[in-house]
Structure 1
Amino acid sequence: MSEWKEVKLKTLCQGIYDGPHATPKRLDEGPIFLGISSLNRGSIDLSKSDHLSEQDFKKWTKRVTPQENDLVFSYETRLGEAALIPAGLRCCLGRRMALMRPDTSKVNPQFLLYTYLSPGFQATIQSRTVHGSTVNRIPLTELPDYPILVPSLETQSQIAATLSNLDRKIENLRKQNETLEQIAKTLFKHWFVDFEFPNADGKPYKSSGGEMVPSELGDIPAGWRVGRLGDVVKVNAESICKNYCHKEIEYVDIASVGVGVLEGTTSYSLKNAPSRARRLVKHGDVIWSGVRPNRKSYLFITHPPENLIVSTGFITLTPNFIPSSYLYSWVTTDSFVEYLTFNASGSAYPAVNAEHFEIAEVLLPDQLNLNRFHRLVNPMREKIYQNSRHIQTLTQTRDTLLPQLMSGKLRITS
């Protein structure tokens, strides 16, 4: 710890800059417009970033043009979020966004990012936050004087390498899962939207002249039918009852579920659990948030612990007569999301209920193709589950190491 010293943040930076206090016209292509939603778990998520015109790009970069290894952060609303600008990204700062340009002769940019994300610096941000009537903010005039602990550049690089190695493994596993999800979606579309599943001769059904018949969903292969989801799925099948045997539970609330991803669970004693902790789930179930369905908060349940409980804000779907892989694929299509969004009611918190799921139309292929699809996709779901478990372990390791390394309590030996 003797080599560590406390300095002011401004001594490590060439400058700290904020972006224009305005929003340009957003486009589908062009230079990247970095907004608060662009920041995700210490990295930049381009899928949640907008674009702007070349003309506006010139205006929005008059003050500063982000460059590789600049640390971008939000100074209003989502305080504490930050990321480094990757090489080759042509972008500008959006509203409520700022950047600090590291002086690489004094600080390793990755080390600076991990310091920013560490519990110690996050506590500094919270203690110095200005609480406004509408939003909280980091006072940019005071930020340069925030204290920060730094060791030698060599130690900084060792710490950054250790933590970034874990982050790379986590990111690689996430990308594997995204690829597997995309493969499953592509296969589902090919078979059950384009109707090009293999026929008896192994050729694409529809383009090989397979018989099509009219239905409520348009022409479908002969022998298939359209039904209601409630006919093949149990909706909200089980809830906690008086003889529930677990005194401790793992709880899933709506905020912890993203687009097919569980961010984490919260442990509670049953008697102290939230009142909404009531729904029981089992392997192969699908849960869907009834609130704001346009946000796509849904999840495939894989090998849950016996004491896993989900919020009553979720609609739980338990497959009866169709494979779980087909159910998940059907209720996560864009058309199904549009159906839920269209039927959601309420101005502040538009929501759907169990009945909307029960009466929803569902295409019911013949059992042979359902089983064939499940045999192909189910191993992908299992691999996604194993990867997710590995991600959880690596994340816990990183989060345990982070405060120890960034405070100098744990040293890295060569």
Structure 2
Amino acid sequence: MTQTLSNFGVSVLDCEHRTPAAQISGFPYITIPDIHDGRVIVDKARRISETDLIKWNRRTTPIGGDILVTRRGRVGDTAPIPDGLRCAIGENLVLLRTNGTQDDQNFLRWAVRSPQWWSEVDRLMNVGAVFSSLNVKDIAQIRLDFPPIPEQQAIAEVLGALDDKIAANTALAASAIELASSEFALVVRDAHWGATFADLAVISGGGTPSTKNAKFWDGEIRWATPTDITTLAGPYLDSTSRTLTPAGLNACSSKLFAPGAILLTSRATIGAVAINIVPTALNQGFIVVEPRDARMRWWLFHEMDDRRSEFLSWANGATFLELSRGNFKRLRVRVPSDYALTMFASTAEALHGAALAALAENRTLAATRDALLPQLMSGKLRVRDAEAAASAAGA
């Protein structure tokens, strides 16, 4: 049955239209940048005091399961409030909360990611010269299909199982990467300052072919920019937002780097580090480190990751800050004993391999989830068949 949100018992809850003072620690104040792929990530959220938490929640206190909706910028993006999270929400967000009589809150989480939802957002969105927006009162008039509650619950269970597996894999990958970093922190205590980066690796960079020549672009050769690194779920680059043709590769100063190169962003965001796991060309916003000894790959990766603030201090430039290859090459590296290096390389390879495998499985799970979502919401796919597809994907 197609009904407006308000007619199906869904309330649209607004918040304070002002911003509290930031604190060093405290409670998360969730804003649009804290919403990623249908989830709230509070790691980098602004922190506020308990006094401000109470003030900002006078109108609406978020509870677990409430659905956040963005009203500006990325209009219509959604994510549920995690269970048990005490937080306040930003002025460009609202909450959706069902009374439970005609719809299931877990189902609502998925209904607001369906093609029907996005069609309604487009219908009601106010397109502006600077940014687009969605009025609070219009959100209640969004029309969605609501099947009977038992079917809603079955759909939510299938999609939720896939999403829960993605969350578990993400946590596993983060733990493996953290363990590798902890192992590095232990071993580096006994390392000594030795050779420079230039002594231990081939140091190079990338380039950009003419953006005015269409023959250079949209081929099959991956071409990375710093943004491709900073948006990664883990430090493993396997895809890029833009691609080159062979002619485009020949027309720029970047070579096609074989898998295993260490990529350091040297402009805009300085110090983000990743390793390419597929052949990749790069723009000029990188310093590329290719170790002469394969055992040094993960050691240099963690050495570079550990020295981000130092790299930033070496950056200079009148227009924008940049870490030059010349300065980077001269920097000395902490080097462990030969035995310690061999042992660390083995441990790090296993831990990063586990993280990479978990994140790779997430791509399959997310693709399955996103393919099932519109089919289930439209009724074209039965829940029983969706359960089989989810099981085959690993959920």
TM-score (norm 1): 0.81
Matches within 5 A, 1:177-216: 177-192=173-188, 194-195=189-190
2:237/2:276 contact within 8 Å kept: no
Tell me, yes or no, if structure 1 residue 93 matches structure 2 residue 89. Answer: yes
Quote the offset at 1:65 in angstroms: 0.6
Quote the offset at 1:277 in angstroms: 9.8
1:51 pairs with 33, 47, 51, which one? 47
Give the match for residue 391 of structure 1. Answer: 362
CA distance, structure 2, for counterparts of residue 23 and residue 239 of structure 1: 41
1:325 pairs with 279, 298, 306, which one? 298
2:272/2:305 contact within 8 Å kept: no
Quote the offset at 1:188 in angstroms: 0.6
Give the aligned residue type for 1:77: G
Quote the offset at 1:175 in angstroms: 0.8
| CA deviation profile, 1:111-143 (whole Å, cap 9, x unmatched) | 212121223322432343223343321122211
1:293/1:344 contact within 8 Å kept: no
Give the match for residue 301 of structure 1. Answer: 276
CA distance, structure 2, for counterparts of residue 353 and residue 292 of structure 1: 13
CA distance, structure 2, for counterparts of residue 31 and residue 181 of structure 1: 26
Give the match for residue 240 of structure 2. Answer: 265
CA distance, structure 1, for counterparts of residue 100 and residue 333 of structure 2: 57
Matches within 5 A, 1:7-406: 7-192=3-188, 194-195=189-190, 224-236=192-204, 248-257=220-229, 258=231, 260=235, 262=237, 264-266=239-241, 268=243, 270=245, 278-294=254-270, 297-302=272-277, 304=278, 306=279, 308-321=280-293, 323-333=296-306, 336-345=307-316, 349-406=320-377
Give the match for residue 216 of structure 1. Answer: none
Q: Which runs of 5+ in 1 are unaligned?
A: 196-220
CA distance, structure 2, for counterparts of residue 343 and residue 123 of structure 1: 48
**In the superposition, relative to structure 1, how do residues 169 and 317 fare at CA in structure 2: closer, same or farther (>3 Å)?**
same
CA distance, structure 1, for counterparts of residue 59 and residue 365 of structure 2: 39
Deviates more, 1:121-130 or 1:254-263: 254-263
Quote the offset at 1:166 in angstroms: 0.7
Question: What CA RMSD, in Å, does the superposition of the two structures yield over aligned residues?
Answer: 2.9
1:44/1:84 contact within 8 Å kept: yes
Secondary structure (helix, strand or coil) at the match of 1:76 reads coil
Secondary structure (helix, strand or coil) at the match of 2:25 reads strand
| CA deviation profile, 1:16-44 (whole Å, cap 9, x unmatched) | 12221211112233332112222121111
Deviates more, 1:246-255 or 1:48-57: 246-255
**In the superposition, relative to structure 1, how do residues 237 and 313 fare at CA in structure 2: closer, same or farther (>3 Å)?**
closer
Secondary structure (helix, strand or coil) at the match of 1:148 reads strand
Secondary structure (helix, strand or coil) at the match of 1:142 reads helix
2:262/2:273 contact within 8 Å kept: yes
Secondary structure (helix, strand or coil) at the match of 2:79 reads strand
Q: Count how many residue pairs are aligned between Structure 1 and Structure 2.
A: 373
**In the superposition, relative to structure 1, how do residues 386 and 28 fare at CA in structure 2: closer, same or farther (>3 Å)?**
same
CA distance, structure 2, for counterparts of residue 173 and residue 129 of structure 1: 35
Deviates more, 1:249-258 or 1:94-103: 249-258
CA distance, structure 2, for counterparts of residue 129 and residue 292 of structure 1: 32
2:61/2:88 contact within 8 Å kept: yes
CA distance, structure 2, for counterparts of residue 348 and residue 96 of structure 1: 32
Give the aligned residue type for 1:326: W
| CA deviation profile, 1:288-321 (whole Å, cap 9, x unmatched) | 2222235x5431223x2x5x43444333221114
**In the superposition, relative to structure 1, how do residues 158 and 341 fare at CA in structure 2: closer, same or farther (>3 Å)?**
same
CA distance, structure 2, for counterparts of residue 385 and residue 97 of structure 1: 34
CA distance, structure 2, for counterparts of residue 13 and residue 273 of structure 1: 55
CA distance, structure 2, for counterparts of residue 349 and residue 77 of structure 1: 26
Quote the offset at 1:358 in angstroms: 1.9
**In the superposition, relative to structure 1, how do residues 92 and 12 fare at CA in structure 2: closer, same or farther (>3 Å)?**
farther
Give the aligned residue type for 1:362: V
Which structure is higher in helix share?
2
Quote the offset at 1:64 in angstroms: 0.7
TM-score (norm 2): 0.84
CA distance, structure 1, for counterparts of residue 363 and residue 382 of structure 2: 24
Deviates more, 1:349-358 or 1:374-383: 349-358
CA distance, structure 2, for counterparts of residue 90 and residue 375 of structure 1: 41
2:15/2:56 contact within 8 Å kept: yes
1:293/1:351 contact within 8 Å kept: no
2:236/2:276 contact within 8 Å kept: no
2:30/2:88 contact within 8 Å kept: yes
Quote the offset at 1:346 in angstroms: 5.2
2:205/2:284 contact within 8 Å kept: no
Runs of at least 4 residues of structure 1 off by over 4 A?
Answer: 237-241, 261-264, 266-269, 271-279, 346-349
Deviates more, 1:53-62 or 1:117-126: 117-126
CA distance, structure 1, for counterparts of residue 256 and residue 169 of structure 2: 28
Give the aligned residue type for 2:308: V
Give the aligned residue type for 2:297: S
1:238/1:281 contact within 8 Å kept: no
Quote the offset at 1:8 in angstroms: 0.9
